[in-house]
Structure 1
Amino acid sequence: MKEITTKEVEQLIAGGKNINIIDVREVGEAAEGRIKGAVNIPLGLLEGRMPDLDKSKEYILVCRSGGRSGRACQFLNSYGYKVINMAGGMLSWEGKTE
């Protein structure tokens, strides 16, 4: 499974890179603060939302600590999606949130 650090994600955002972030935390968790532009799709709803995802795009998956997003990465990868797990999750995130 591919991984990216929180610092690398911050650098991509700061550099104006167009990235696709999916936050797989529950709605209440994501409401406490998420990375700007991240789309909240709770892990339990991910399978049903797969048709909304574009297999030609790469997605960075985020959760609280990196565990749920890691499982989500394995799941989506098995269906041919290009995904990267943000190691450490929001617990390691030091950038801005919305």
Structure 2
Amino acid sequence: MVEIEVVYAAVDRQVLLAVTVPEGTGLRAAAQASGIAAQFPELNLADCPLGIFGKVVADAELRVVQAGDRIEIYRPLLVDPKEVRRLRAAKAALAKQRNS
């Protein structure tokens, strides 16, 4: 058996669960076995990206968990960060023009 943590941060709250899974369990299977989806009905563990300690894992089905891993479940971005920066720069340029 391997002890791991599974964490998910929704907009309004975050949950960290300590879980024990059999050796050889895949990342996605471990996240599903944690039962965290019961606390977040909107969470679709079959599709969402997963990571370990801040690094996204490309193939979560094949990656086997190791003792001490913290599986992070990532929610989709609401806005593209590049678009936010572009809009902020445009707003700053407009403000600069008005003040000149």
TM-score (norm 1): 0.22
Greater RCO, CA 8 A, separation 6+:
1
More strand by share: 2
More helix by share: 1
